[in-house]
Amino acid sequence: MSKATIIKISDLPQAFSEVHPHNLWLYCKAYEAGNRANTAQTKTRSEVRGGGKKPWAQKGGGRARAGSLRSPIFVGGGVIFGPSTNRNYFQKVNKKQKRLALMHAIAEKAANDKLFVVDSLVIESAKTKDAKVFIEGFKQRDILVVKEMIDDKTFLAFRNLQESYLVEEGELNAYLAAAYHAIVIEKSVFEKLTKES
């Protein structure tokens, strides 16, 4: 296992520090919206059980006419304009904005000395205890580990660790980068990130 290097904000290209934080906020909002379960549901008057009989006579009782006790005006009746399970929570985020959001999230970690680069990351033993020792060496609350290509041994070593999350280069996004306390990233992936900007 290679030694980790702390990346400062000054080590990043100038473009990283010039990104407006609003880009990150918009991306995280869209990401969370996409994760919504959309399971909220209420029953309309046609779905509520009961109410088949007319509750009282149309005329002569002095009360307003009523055809069913399951009308929305009665307790136990249906709900008017309740949440729909057909609702779409999707929010569009442009490719450029996704890129800017990730740049800002990376810059924030670098500004707080929470961005670490390693030459290569492989747990040859495939043992969780070895991955735990590696993670604990950074003395951070939780860590996002970014690898160019996840091999089987490293995957097995990290999969049961609650204080870390292992992702491949293509899975890295601004939400994950912002959500975790620190980031450990392979040098090859870091070079691609900084080069594209």
CATH class belonging to 5-19+91-196: alpha beta
pTM of structure? 0.80
If DSSP codes are grouped into helix, strand and coil, which group holds residue 84?
coil
Partners of residue 144 on adjacent β-strands:
165, 183
Q: State how far the Cα of 160 lies from the Cα of 178, in Å rounded to an integer.
A: 22
41-99 pLDDT tens trace = 899 999 999 988 999 999 999 999 999 999 999 999 999 999 887 888 999 999 999 99
In order of 27, 103, 144, 163, the CA distances from 99 in angstroms are 10, 6, 18, 26
In order of 64, 91, 144, 167, the CA distances from 33 in angstroms are 44, 7, 22, 22
